[in-house]
Amino acid sequence: MMLSVETGESEPQRHRSEPRRRADRERNRQAVVDALLDLISEGNLAPSAEAIAARAGVSRRSIFRYFDDLADLQRAAIQRQLERLGALLTADLEEHAPASERVRAFVQRRLRLYEAGGPAMRVTRMRAPLNPVFAEQLRAARQHFADEVRRVFSPELSPLSEPERQRTVAMVDAVASFETCEVLQGSHGLHGEELEATLTAAIARLLGIDTPDASS
C-alpha cells in the first residue's frame, strides 16, 4: 500500500480525508467572516485580527490561510452580509398595488434594512473613499437602490419626461437613503413612527401621491 510521504497516510485515506479538510477550511473561513460581521454589528467598526480570531475560535495566523489577503476577506464579508440581509434587499412590492400602499411598504422595508445592516453600511461608507473593495460595493448598492425606486414606482414615473423622471428618481432615492435616515435620526431626533411618517410623506409628495396616514 502506497503511503503519502507528506502525511504518512495511505492514498485511499488521503483521498477520503480531503473532503473533510475542505469542509473544515470552509467552516473556519465562514467563522472568520461571521466573527468580523458580528463585531461590526456590536459597534466595533474596525476590529483587530486578534479580536476576529478570538471570536471565530481560530488562531490569528490562520486567518490569512483562509483568505488570500485583506481584500479577499472584505469581499467575503460583503457577500455574507448580503446573504444575511436576504429578502430585505429585494422589494416584494407589486407595482399595481395602490400607490399609498407601495410608498408605505417601501419605507417600512427600507427602515428594516437599515436597522439590520446599519453598522456594516457605516463601515462601507467610512472606508469607501480609500478602499476599492468598499467603493465598488457602495456603487453597486446605490445602483440597486435607484433601480428599485424605478421599479416600485414605475406607474408614477412612466408618464414623466425623461429628464423629469431622472430628477424624480434621484430625489426619491436621496430621501430614502441610509444617509438621509442617519441625518433625520442623529441631527433631528426622528425615530420609529415619526421617522417612518416623515419619509413616507416626503416620498409621496415627490411622486404626486396623496400622503398616506402613516399612523393608521
Position 6 in a domain: no
Same domain, 129 and 176: yes
Sign of the dihedral through C-alpha 122, 123, 126, 130: negative
Same domain, 192 and 112: yes
Position 174 in a domain: yes
Same domain, 49 and 118: no
User: Quick one: pLDDT at residue 91?
Assistant: 59
Low-confidence ranges of the chain (pLDDT < 50): 1-7, 212, 214-216
Same domain, 120 and 199: yes
Same domain, 112 and 174: yes
Residue 61's domain spans which residues? 11-67
Q: Residue 200: name the closest of 96, 104, 98 by CA.
A: 104
Domain count, the chain: 2
Q: Residue 50: name the closest of 68, 32, 25 by CA.
A: 32
User: Quick one: pLDDT at residue 14?
Assistant: 53
| Contact criterion met (CB below 8 Å) for 195 and 185 | yes
Same domain, 176 and 109: yes
> How far is it, in rounded angstroms, from Cα 195 to Cα 111?
9
Does this model's pTM top 0.85? My answer is: no
